[in-house]
Every structure is written in structure tokens, then in C-alpha cells.
Amino acid sequence: MEKIFTQDYCVRHNETDYSGKLSLPALGDCLLDVAGHHAIDIKFGIDSLQHQGLTWVISGMKFNIYRMPAINSLFKIKTYVSGFSRIATQRDFMAYDDNGKIAEASSEWLVLNMEKRRPVFISDLFPQLGDVCITDSPLPKYKHLRTFDAPVSAQEIRRVAYSDIDINRHLYSMRYLQMALDTFDIEYIANHTISSVDVNFISEVLYGQTVDVVRHSDGDVHGMEMLRDGSAVFRAEFRMG
């Protein structure tokens, strides 16, 4: 049982975008992968929760990106639990290689009752959470995002299909980010890099539902909102450089 858990990665072809660099959703896939392995290591894995009709869900993330590694590059991600309350835990990540930091991210997690689709008290489930938590210097938490004032710069309707949903039978968290990025014109992305992102996962989206992905832009700051029947289910703010 390790308080700080580290895993090795190698950037795959399918994890890069057309620039040949690791994409943001693929970086997120790796973060969620190492989080899952660490949770199993400290006995808070999703397997044991599912036997009790419970599951981990992510409620928000904040990314700071310094540079994205190229295809076939080796890198590492270290992660640890950096804070907790009665209903939420914070988990921080650092991705790095021999040349230094690649990205940092913080994430907030809830435990959901899968039948009621409502959060439960984590402190009751895992009273020993304090023993594995490293509270020294947690990374800044994501910003709570409200309706964006900037004008609408792109809008697209998306249907949630088979390949979009995960074992929790809802839209996979990184697919929200992918759908947001898909509103960009490729020439814009080719000439910009993502420097930081705040992400709010507001509500589950289920198989077969349609969402309206709306981008609001103020220069290189982009507010992304995903609406279902007019209500926001996701918001993110991308700052591009």
C-alpha cells in the first residue's frame, strides 16, 4: 500500500492528435488509469464498491499543461489523495519525464449509489481515508463555472452512442472533453496549445441522450457548456496559448 503511486506510460499512436502529441482526453485517460490502480492498491477500488452497488464518479478537474509528449515517448504519472470531506475526496496527479513536468491535475471524486444515482458519505465507507491522505500542499481545485458571458462561437448536437459510455453506463468523463474539443476548427488547434482547463462534471448523461455542445469564446479563453433539455450537464473553461 503506497501513499504515492507511480506508473509508467508510453504515448500510443491512438493517444495523439494529428500533431503527433498526446491529446488532452488521452492524458485524462492515463490519469484515470493510474487513479484506478492506486485506488485498488489502497483498498478503495471500484471493484469492491460495485459489489455494494456503489461506484466512483468524478465531479471536477483542473489541468495545468506545460508540454505534451510525442508519440512513443515514455513518461510517468504519480498520484495521491490530497484531501477529503464527508462526501468528496481530492486526488492530485503529476505527469513528468526526464525533461521535467508535463502536466499537473487535481480531481474531485464522489461515491455514487448506482441505483439512486445519489452520492453517499465517503467518510462512513472509508473511515481510514486520513491514513493514506497527503494533505501538505494540495493542488488548486477546479473553479466552479457559471453561465458564460462571452458570445457563442460554435455549437453542435451530439448523440451519446455505444462507444461513449463506460462501465457506469453513463457518458465517459473524457468524452465530455473530447466533444468540447471537437467544436474547434483544426487550424485553430494546430496553432494553439492548451495551457489550463477547469472542468465541472455537473450531471450524468445516459446512453441515447442528445446534448447540445456550445462554445463561448473571448479571445483564447473558451467556455464550453453541454446542455441536455436546456440544462447544463457539463462546463469547462479552456485557456489556450
Q: Is 162 in the site for a second copy (CB under 8 A)?
A: yes
Spell out the alpha helix ranges (H) of the chain.
24-41, 46-50, 122-125, 129-132, 173-181, 186-190
Give the integer Cα–Cα distance in Å for 211 and 57.
20
Question: Closest distance between a second copy and the C-beta of residue 195, in Å?
Answer: 18
Residues 6 or more apart whose Cβ sits within 8 Å of residue 113 = 53, 54, 119, 120
Instruction: Give the three cell numbers for residue 185.
Output: 476548427
Question: Closest distance between a second copy and the C-beta of residue 168, in Å?
Answer: 8
Question: Closest distance between a second copy and the C-beta of residue 92, in Å?
Answer: 19
Which one among 116, 137, 167, 230 touches a second copy, defined by CB under 8 A?
167
Per-residue binder mask for a second copy (CB under 8 A), 77-116, x = binder: ----------------------------------------
Which one among 112, 181, 194, 236 touches a second copy, defined by CB under 8 A?
181
Instruction: Answer whether 78's CB lies under 8 Å from 65's CB.
Output: no
Question: Closest distance between a second copy and the C-beta of residue 108, in Å?
Answer: 18
Q: Is 184 in the site for a second copy (CB under 8 A)?
A: yes
Q: Is 71 in the site for a second copy (CB under 8 A)?
A: yes
Q: Is 29 in the site for a second copy (CB under 8 A)?
A: yes
Coil, strand or helix at 25 = helix
> How many Cβ atoms are within 10 Å of 26's Cβ, its own excluded?
20
> How many Cβ atoms are within 10 Å of 76's Cβ, its own excluded?
15
Which one among 2, 4, 12, 124 touches a second copy, defined by CB under 8 A?
12
Which one among 186, 192, 210, 218 touches a second copy, defined by CB under 8 A?
186
Give the residue with the Cβ less far from a second copy, 101 or 169. Answer: 169
* Beta-ladder partners of 166: none
Q: Is 32 in the site for a second copy (CB under 8 A)?
A: yes
Residues 6 or more apart whose Cβ sits within 8 Å of residue 180 = 213, 215, 224, 226, 234, 236, 238
Query: Residue with C-alpha cell 448523440?
Result: 159
Give the integer Cα–Cα distance in Å for 187 and 191.
6
Per-residue binder mask for a second copy (CB under 8 A), 195-224, x = binder: ------------xx----------------
Binding residues vs a second copy (CB under 8 A):
12-14, 16-20, 23, 25, 29, 32-33, 36-37, 40, 71-72, 161-163, 165-169, 172, 174, 178, 181-182, 184, 186, 189, 207-208
